[in-house]
Amino acid sequence: MRALAALAVIALVVPAAAAPCEDANAAIMAVMRDSAAGWTARDLDRFMAVYAEDATFVVGDGVIRGKAAIAARYAPRFAPEAAAKRGALSFEQMAFRPIDPSHALLVARYRLKVAGAADQTGPTSLLFEKQREGWKIVADHSS
């Protein structure tokens, strides 16, 4: 009888535990699609909306700290004369790992489709934090 009761509890708990992970994954992929749409539409604010104010961005020569500094690094790609080279951005999820209820790791492949050129593609590892405004990137390492 106890074994049956234990199985009943497990059956109720396991699906409930899976839902938050699936919700986080869906929510994070939604903000990533919106960010990519911002890139493609030449809307720097929309592209950057996914970043937390205190985000860090790993680059070849160090770490950029803060959303404003990250935006400044991207700003030249949003200038009118750079539009043809910026292309259309998309992300393909490769792995998703919830860390705790307010943090998750997304590993994805970014793809830039630029007319008349080979696609630019590479991996990105993004640490997300659920903040009051929604899921935000707190650490970005893209190659």
Break the chain into its structural domains and give their ranges: 2-142
pLDDT (0 to 100) of residue 19:
52
The percentage of residues in the chain with a pLDDT greater than 90, rounded to a whole number, is 74
Confidence of residue 80 (pLDDT cuts 50, 70, 90): confident
- Longest Cα pair distance anywhere in the chain, in angstroms? 73
2-142 folds as Nuclear Transport Factor 2; Chain: A, (3.10.450)
What is the rounded distance in angstroms from the CA atom of residue 12 to the CA atom of residue 17?
9
E strand residue ranges, 11-119: 51-59, 62-65, 88-100, 103-113
Q: Tokens in use for 51?
A: 């970043």
pLDDT (0 to 100) of residue 60:
87
For residue 116, the SS3 value is: coil
pLDDT (0 to 100) of residue 134:
97
| Greater pLDDT, 26 or 4 | 26
The percentage of residues in the chain with a pLDDT greater than 70, rounded to a whole number, is 85
Q: Tokens in use for 139?
A: 């650490």
Average pLDDT over residues 104-114: 96
Average pLDDT over residues 4-26: 55
Q: Is the pTM of this model over 0.85?
A: no
What Å distances lie between residue 52 and 9, 35, 55, 57, CA to CA?
Answer: 38, 13, 5, 11
Which run of H or E residues covers position 68? helix 67-74
